[in-house]
Amino acid sequence: YDMSDSIALLATARTDLSAANDKILAVNVALEAAMSTTSPKSQMPAVRAAVKAAEDALKLVKDDLMKAVRSIKVEVGATTTVSQ
């Protein structure tokens, strides 16, 4: 089988997963920064923004992986479907 498209999609997913991991680490940093201040409540918008960025990044990784699985199935001629 020619799996070149699937391999490329997996490489994209891997890159996006690394970016998502960085965004998850940024949530930890934002939360630690908020908790180390005398008014953590004032830092919550930054924490929420970091969480939203991490969520969006993880959704992108999920989509990337679904595309890769679909591509693999097409390349090997599978007839089953990928559910969301």
Question: In this predicted structure, what is the pLDDT of residue 28?
Answer: 97
When pLDDT is averaged across residues 54-72 and rounded to a whole number, the result is 97
pTM: 0.83
Name the region of 64 (left: φ>0; alpha: ψ -120 to 50; beta: rest). Answer: alpha
Name the residue with tokens 């020619």.
2
Chain-wide mean pLDDT for the chain?
A: 92
Rg, the chain, Cα only: 18
As a whole-number percent, the residues of the chain with pLDDT over 70 amount to: 92
* pLDDT of 1 strictly over 90: no
Question: In this predicted structure, what is the pLDDT of residue 2?
Answer: 85
